[in-house]
Amino acid sequence: GTGLNTHPDYARRCAEVIGEYTGQPFVSAPNKFEALAAHDAVAFASGALRTVAGSLMKIANDVRWLASGPRSGLGELKIPENEPGSSIMPGKVNPTQAEAMTMVVAQVYGNDAAVAFAGSQGNFELNVYKPVMIHNLLESAQLIADACHSFNDNCAVGLEVNNDRITELVQKSLMLVTALNNHIGYDKAAEIAKKAYKEGSTLKEAALALGYLTSDQFDQWVVPSKMTGPKS
């Protein structure tokens, strides 16, 4: 840390040689004591990978939920049939790529926990836990890279939108009654939704039965594609 008994250019030249050998922009740490006693940069990098992993978990879970079915689940997405499904359920398509991704995320979270703990173990001028920190950091980076390539090649590029299923679910959704608020008021719109839910009918059928609007008015006001943002 002090540089005692070394050439004045030793640290700078070592960093340059390592940089030339690896092709990476290595530089000598300005404060050698800080670099030995704390490995905050490694802990920070691991935390960044954990954040990426968290986003990948959401993507994987969204895909496997949206692909659930084909009849009893959501079924809004169709995933590639990469391998035979269940041995007891012919025709079943398992979301194996999404499941593999979630396991990678679990490992990355565990690796980050190890890195975070190791990073806290600097005593005075030295933290000797750097090997385990580097091991887990590099493993997390490799796992995420491999998982993303596999997920993209074997799942993402082959995803298909099930438009028929989406249309079916949208038309059944009681959420569409929201479009009627500005035309007939909240109370009447809520009454329509409750009637449709109780009787198992469509919103349009309930609205016409209550006499709050005509068929043409319902078709004009309730347009799902116009409900994805604020009115212009």
Predicted local confidence at residue 49, as pLDDT: 99
Answer yes or no: is 127 within a domain.
Answer: yes
Predicted local confidence at residue 190, as pLDDT: 97
Tens digits of residue pLDDT in 142-191? 999 999 999 999 999 999 999 999 999 998 999 999 999 999 999 999 99
- Residue-range definition of the domain harbouring residue 49: 31-162
Q: Clarify whether residues 38 and 150 are in a common domain.
A: yes
Answer yes or no: is 15 within a domain.
Answer: no
Burial, 158: exposed, middle or buried (Cβ in 10 Å; 0-12, 13-18, 19+)? middle
Taking residues 78-83, report their average pLDDT: 90
Of 119, 153, 157, 139, the closest CA to residue 38 belongs to 119
Domain count for the chain, please give it: 2
The vertex-43 CA angle with 40 and 47, nearest 5°, equals 135
Answer yes or no: is 17 within a domain.
Answer: no
Q: Clarify whether residues 151 and 70 are in a common domain.
A: yes
The CATH number for 105's domain is 1.20.200.10
Q: Clarify whether residues 84 and 153 are in a common domain.
A: yes
Q: Clarify whether residues 139 and 193 are in a common domain.
A: no
Under 8 Å between Cβ of 161 and 170: no
Q: Clarify whether residues 127 and 221 are in a common domain.
A: no
The CATH number for 198's domain is 1.10.40.30
Report d(CA 223, CA 203) in Å as an integer. 13
Q: Clarify whether residues 158 and 177 are in a common domain.
A: no
- Whether residue 129 is predicted with pLDDT greater than 80 in this model: the reply is yes
Predicted local confidence at residue 90, as pLDDT: 74
Answer yes or no: is 56 within a domain.
Answer: yes
Answer yes or no: is 203 within a domain.
Answer: yes
Q: How confident is the model at residue 7 (pLDDT cuts 50, 70, 90)?
A: very high
pTM of the entire predicted model: 0.84
Under 8 Å between Cβ of 160 and 78: yes
Answer yes or no: is 142 within a domain.
Answer: yes
- Whether residue 232 is predicted with pLDDT greater than 70 in this model: the reply is no
Report d(CA 212, CA 192) in Å as an integer. 9
Domain boundary among 140, 162, 184: 162
Q: Clarify whether residues 124 and 185 are in a common domain.
A: no
